[in-house]
Structure 1
Amino acid sequence: MAQVIGILVTLLLTLGMAWGAAALWFRLPWSRNRRRLAVAGWGIAALVLLWLGVRGQWLANATQLLLLVGLTTWWFRLRPAHDRPWSDDVACLATGEVRDNRLTMHHVRDFDWRTRDDAEVRWEKRSYDLDRLDSVDMIVSSWGRPGVAHVMVSFGFEGETFVVFSVEVRRLKGERFSEIGGFFRQYELAIVAADERDAVGLRSKVRGERVSLFRLRMPQSAMRSLLLAYVDEANALAESPRFYNTITANCTTLIFAMARGIGARLPLDYRLLVTDRLPGYAFKVGGLWPGFTLSELEAGGRIDERARRVHRAPDFSQRIRQRVPGWESLDRESLAQRQ
């Protein structure tokens, strides 16, 4: 029994020291070379103490435990912030207010992207008539990594005006996203409201990603509740910063939490984490446009090629929806065939 306990203690301490090395690498506010030295020193200490602990020297295990207590204390004292040198695309957080049934959004992003790191910067104040809200679309963008995709939600107002909400990492200037870093408080969380030509164009034309659009089946009251839930979440985030987390606070889990918050009875499912399979989950719970198979919805929902062709068009949002299931009214030829 004592031997089993000893093995478990060694295993837990080893895992803890490995986690500590990753935490130091992703969160120490130092240069890359200094972080390498710190992680190397931590790793050497961990190996020496592990070797001594395996040889029965209990003081080595106690030393590892003290190191982990100290590191954990530092870890939980880390605080997210708003005042850092952010990348231009997440420099402003969306906020909104409702007056007389009209939603006013502040800091709506409408960049004209030239490359993935260069754009004509433009933040706007926009107003939306909630009585005209009549559509919600899920936009899924993937870039070739198995199981990984970015999910956005677009709200439409009588097929004329659209606003996209995107839950993103709030990167520093010149910083790249790392899924692993997302586990280690490397990034703050951002909720961005954007024009579709910005949000979809960036991913389809500039980054060359695969982008699909799925119209959701929702009563108008639920559409309004979900939109205002986004606004409330964005306002709260602008007031109090939060850390992004690859699993617990990302582009799908926040949507799931908001949907449940407005009364949707959604079951837990592995596809909430394997985000490129989220359309399958939405289809399973009856959230996608009816009358089509999942394969038909996926094939008809591909919009990246079309988005690249019409990137500069003033009616970008209408043209990317042509031939998308649920948006047949925007495609005269398709409408005529159905009649």
Structure 2
Amino acid sequence: MKSNRTSATSIVSRVLLGLLTIMTGSWGIFALIFSEPHNDIVRSILATAFGVASLATLIALGFRRWHWQALAGYFALFSLLLIWWSNIKPSNERDWQIDVAMLPYATIEGDLITVHNIRNFDYRSETDYTPSYYDKRFDLSKLEAVDMVASYWMGPAIAHIFLSFSFADDNYLAISIETRKEKGEDYSSIRGFFRQYELIYVVADERDIIRLRTNYRENPPEDTYIYRISGSIENGRRLFLEYIHRINKLNAKPEFYNTLTTNCTTSIWLNTRVNQTHPPFNWRILASGYLPELLYERGKLKTDGLTFPELQQLSHINARAQAADDTVDFSRLIRAKDINLTPTTIP
């Protein structure tokens, strides 16, 4: 009986060690495939070699005589991989794509916050534009509301979420948490797990960051919605200030983007922790397309008694944005036929 229990324990242990080897081996292969600055051939050789080592370790688990030696060798190799990985550092000094080349920052004087390098490109198409930036001073005491923008391009489950802060006299400042890509670099969700992109808070005029999505994105087109967040105005002010601190921190010390832990929605959720009433985590924060419905269910959106489908329909702004185009009154016009978006703010 004791022998049977020992045998069963040994089998379970080997299965668990096998799963651990598969997970660490898969991670190591991808990390090496996407590693820099080596060329494609070097990356392929290193990834293949590590894959062979992982496979050999899995096979050795089936042999009592070899498996401990194989595991010791494999995890020594994996430890070297982790040491190499820990020495991959983010940088603010790369050959950036033009739309993320300029980092924003802010100077704070009490309630007066001057935001520098607010992006306001003049678009002729998604890829043809004239870069332009400006600085603007905002009075934190005059923050009136926070809006959530949700832009969809690949079905209902995935959306890019960002916030726009509304100040008195129709002054809006949009802040979008994104990947800072180098020239010639495309976005990949898988690459986003492996320190391939720096993190950037794009601070932009709504005529730039919203109009780009509603008027110029065609492949694929994007459907964009604006929802007003409900709650305490003081929470909104604390959240705005937290964003400003994060922007300044990234300007001084770069960080990596991560597809899971520092994407557009998880970063917003992490920032809301500055408020005691921040919402608890929910899987729909990861399936970002469902975030507006989640906030609706939790009473965090201004609804005026509408059902969520009704609210969603009224919040769709593509047609209004296309009609407004580059007018100075763009922000007011894209909200003109929405529900009564009176000043309220963040949860």
TM-score strictly above 0.5: yes
Offset, 1:72: 1.1
Offset, 1:60: 2.7
Does residue 262 of structure 2 align to residue 249 of structure 1?
A: yes
Does residue 321 of structure 2 align to residue 307 of structure 1?
A: yes
Within 5 A, what are the aligned runs for 1:1-339? Answer: 1-56=9-64, 57-58=66-67, 59-99=69-109, 101-145=111-155, 147-207=157-217, 208-291=221-304, 292-327=306-341
Letter of the structure 2 residue corresponding to residue 268 of structure 1: F
For the residues of structure 1 that align with 2:184 and 2:246, how far apart are their CA atoms? Answer: 27
Q: Is the 8 A contact 2:302 2:341 kept in 1?
A: no
For the residues of structure 1 that align with 2:253 and 2:112, how far apart are their CA atoms? Answer: 25
For the residues of structure 2 that align with 1:195 and 1:43, how far apart are their CA atoms? Answer: 47
Offset, 1:146: 5.2
Identify the residue that residue 3 of structure 2 maps to in structure 1.
none
Offset, 1:271: 1.0
**More divergent stretch after superposition (48-57 vs 186-195):** 48-57
Offset, 1:74: 1.0
**More divergent stretch after superposition (232-241 vs 50-59):** 50-59
For the residues of structure 2 that align with 1:145 and 1:29, how far apart are their CA atoms? Answer: 35
**More divergent stretch after superposition (249-258 vs 163-172):** 249-258
- Unpaired runs of 5+ residues, structure 1, are 330-339
**CA, structure 1 residues 84+164, in 2 after alignment: closer, same or farther (shift >3 Å)?**
same
Give the TM-score, by structure 1 length: 0.90
**CA, structure 1 residues 27+116, in 2 after alignment: closer, same or farther (shift >3 Å)?**
farther
Offset, 1:141: 0.8
RMSD: 2.0
Give per-residue Cα distances to partners, 1:15-41, cap 9 Å, x unaligned. 211110011122332333442333233
Q: Secondary structure at the residue paired with 1:106?
A: strand
Letter of the structure 2 residue corresponding to residue 253 of structure 1: T
Offset, 1:86: 1.4
Q: Is the 8 A contact 1:10 1:54 kept in 2?
A: no
For the residues of structure 1 that align with 2:265 and 2:26, how far apart are their CA atoms? Answer: 28
Give the TM-score, by structure 2 length: 0.88
For the residues of structure 1 that align with 2:215 and 2:62, how far apart are their CA atoms? Answer: 56
Q: Secondary structure at the residue paired with 1:115?
A: coil
**CA, structure 1 residues 147+34, in 2 after alignment: closer, same or farther (shift >3 Å)?**
farther
Offset, 1:325: 1.9
**More divergent stretch after superposition (19-28 vs 163-172):** 19-28
Give per-residue Cα distances to partners, 1:134-188, cap 9 Å, x unaligned. 1211001111155221111101123522110111111111211111111111111
**CA, structure 1 residues 51+279, in 2 after alignment: closer, same or farther (shift >3 Å)?**
same
**CA, structure 1 residues 37+311, in 2 after alignment: closer, same or farther (shift >3 Å)?**
farther
For the residues of structure 1 that align with 2:50 and 2:323, how far apart are their CA atoms? Answer: 52
For the residues of structure 2 that align with 1:24 and 1:119, how far apart are their CA atoms? Answer: 36
Give per-residue Cα distances to partners, 1:170-219, cap 9 Å, x unaligned. 11112111111111111111111100011011122222211110011133
Letter of the structure 2 residue corresponding to residue 189 of structure 1: L
Letter of the structure 2 residue corresponding to residue 296 of structure 1: E
Offset, 1:327: 3.4
Letter of the structure 2 residue corresponding to residue 51 of structure 1: I
Q: Is the 8 A contact 1:322 1:328 kept in 2?
A: no
Offset, 1:120: 0.9
**Count of matched residue positions in the alignment of Structure 1 and Structure 2:** 329
For the residues of structure 2 that align with 1:305 and 1:43, how far apart are their CA atoms? Answer: 51
Letter of the structure 1 residue corresponding to residue 89 of structure 2: R
Q: Secondary structure at the residue paired with 1:197?
A: helix
Q: Is the 8 A contact 1:190 1:237 kept in 2?
A: yes
For the residues of structure 1 that align with 2:158 and 2:34, how far apart are their CA atoms? Answer: 21
Offset, 1:99: 2.3
Offset, 1:229: 1.3
Identity, % of aligned pairs? 34
